[in-house]
């Protein structure tokens, strides 16, 4: 007899999670609560309600989390200029802690004993969901069907549906992509299929959010992003909410062929994985944020942020959003953003994001000192001699002791 009476399932309404609903009911003899999050995946989430009802689910949660997602997860991450392994903008990684948080909140609201998810035993998402859940509710039971059942392919899942009369209706949908895809307001990812050959070039019709750089307009698009405390708040002078800002930048960026990425990354579980990503708005935001920091951040603060960033990005990628070390780093990063205010002007052209201007009332750029013209005594060039000699002292001592590089 199972000790699980009620479980909250992260439910998309697709094949995998529809099978999981019935599998949980059959295997654990428990009540299933479904939770569907709208984080900007670009598809209607309301149909999940009818599908869940058809499977006998009584408690159904469908939540619009778009603003919370961008405001409380994407924006803090972009204050750090976070990139994993030099390329990946962490679009999937940063969505998982929010879903884990909401799963636990619903478990508390409904008195559930467990949560469940559809992540496989090969990927990073199982780690992200479960580390987040255990951080927020240490005693929660986690059920990961892909680590328990013997359903190992789409064919076996469909057979399971047929045997148990599970109403999985794909009629009327677009032609199914051969790739495993995950989308939210920050990005869309593609894995599997032909991409499992890392030498295979993805076909053009795989991409959903962007035109190819070759097909992008021949005339550049200029935009201006206004920043307050490190976050983008205006676009071309118009105040936008976080979710609207990102959605709008996605459209503008995608129209200009911006944000495509093809990479092989190192998963936390140990294997290498090839994936393709579209992150048009995030690509623009990263370039713009670094531009406004370039004139408002102190040199050593900026350099320290760059040193901390890979560690911060790795924490997010590996699922440690709720860890004390991530919160500690976030506090330092947020402290640095108090003067990161101003406007960045960008030129978008055929896949490129070019910074063409930046201004701020908090700028540390001093024209009187930096000028190549007469600075009227603002900077004494003779001071450089002592500065150089002091910094060369240890090198001169070493050379005098026979450690010359010649």
Phi, psi of 360 (to 5 degrees): -160, 140
Whether 16 is catalytic is yes
Instruction: Encode the chain (406 residues) as per-residue pLDDT tens digits.
Output: 479 999 999 999 888 999 999 999 999 999 999 999 999 998 889 899 999 999 999 999 999 999 999 999 999 999 999 999 999 999 999 999 999 999 999 999 999 999 999 999 999 999 999 999 999 999 999 999 999 998 888 789 889 998 888 876 643 344 567 898 999 999 999 999 999 999 999 999 999 999 999 999 999 999 999 999 999 999 999 999 999 999 999 999 999 999 999 999 999 999 999 999 999 999 999 999 999 999 999 999 999 999 999 999 999 999 999 999 999 999 999 999 999 999 999 999 999 999 999 999 999 999 999 999 998 999 999 999 999 999 999 999 999 999 988 8
Calpha distance 247→285 (Å, rounded): 12
Calpha distance 319→74 (Å, rounded): 14
Whether 2 is catalytic is no
Residue of 49, 72, 180, 182 marked active site: 180
Residue of 116, 125, 231, 336 marked active site: 125
* CATH number corresponding to 6-74+95-164: 3.40.50.620
Contact 235, 245 (CB under 8 A): yes
Residue of 16, 38, 113, 231 marked active site: 16
14 annotated to a ligand binding site: yes
Q: How many CB atoms lie within 10 A of CB 7?
A: 26
123 annotated to a ligand binding site: no
Helix (H) or strand (E) holding 344: strand 342-349
- Tell me the H-state helices in 29-61: 47-54
11 annotated to a ligand binding site: yes
- Tell me the H-state helices in 57-174: 66-69, 75-79, 96-110, 125-136, 154-164
210 annotated to a ligand binding site: no
Contact 345, 360 (CB under 8 A): no
351 annotated to a ligand binding site: no
Contact 168, 15 (CB under 8 A): yes
Domain 180-297+336-359: give its CATH architecture: Alpha-Beta Complex (3.90)
pTM: 0.95
Domain boundaries, the chain: 6-74+95-164, 180-297+336-359, 367-400
Calpha distance 139→107 (Å, rounded): 12
Calpha distance 231→85 (Å, rounded): 23
Phi, psi of 45 (to 5 degrees): -100, -20
Contact 343, 227 (CB under 8 A): yes
13 annotated to a ligand binding site: yes
Residue of 22, 79, 96, 326 marked active site: 96
Beta bridge partners of 32: 7
């Amino acid at each position: 007899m199972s000790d699980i009476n009620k479980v909250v399932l992260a439910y998309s309404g697709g094949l995998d999670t529809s099978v999981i609903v019935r599998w949980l009911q059959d295997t654990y003899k428990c009540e299933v609560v479904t939770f569907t999050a709208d984080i900007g995946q670009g598809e209607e989430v309301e149909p999940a309600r009818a599908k869940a009802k058809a499977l006998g689910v009584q408690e159904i949660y469908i939540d619009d989390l778009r603003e919370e997602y961008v405001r409380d997860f994407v924006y803090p991450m972009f204050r750090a200029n976070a990139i994993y392994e030099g390329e990946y903008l962490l679009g999937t990684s940063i969505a998982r802690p929010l879903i884990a948080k909401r799963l636990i909140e619903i478990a508390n609201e409904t008195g559930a004993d467990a949560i469940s998810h559809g992540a496989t035993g090969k990927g990073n998402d199982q780690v992200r969901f479960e580390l987040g859940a255990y951080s927020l509710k240490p005693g929660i039971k986690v059920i990961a069907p892909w680590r328990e059942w013997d359903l190992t392919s789409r064919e076996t899942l469909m057979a399971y549906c047929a045997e148990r009369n599970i109403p999985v209706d794909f009629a009327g949908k677009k032609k199914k992509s051969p790739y495993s895809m995950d989308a939210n307001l920050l990005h869309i990812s593609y894995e599997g299929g032909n991409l499992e050959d890392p030498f295979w070039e993805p076909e053009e019709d795989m991409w959903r959010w962007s035109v190819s750089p070759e097909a992008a307009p021949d005339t550049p698009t200029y935009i201006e992003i206004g920043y307050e405390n490190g976050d983008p708040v205006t676009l071309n002078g118009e105040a936008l909410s976080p979710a609207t800002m990102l959605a709008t930048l996605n459209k503008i960026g995608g129209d200009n062929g911006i944000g495509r990425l093809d990479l092989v990354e190192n998963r936390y579980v140990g294997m290498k994985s090839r994936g393709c990503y579209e992150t048009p708005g995030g690509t623009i935001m990263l370039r713009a944020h670094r531009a406004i920091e370039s004139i408002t951040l102190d040199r050593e603060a900026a350099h320290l942020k760059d040193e901390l960033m890979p560690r911060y990005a790795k924490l997010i990628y590996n699922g440690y959003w709720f860890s004390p070390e991530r919160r500690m780093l976030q506090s330092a990063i947020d402290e640095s953003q108090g003067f990161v205010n101003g406007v960045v002007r960008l030129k978008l052209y055929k896949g490129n994001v070019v910074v063409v201007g930046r201004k701020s009332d908090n700028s540390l750029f001093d024209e009187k000192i930096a000028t190549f013209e007469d600075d009227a005594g603002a900077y004494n060039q003779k001071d450089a001699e002592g500065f150089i000699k002091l910094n060369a002292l240890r090198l001169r001592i070493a050379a005098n002791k026979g450690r010359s590089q010649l």
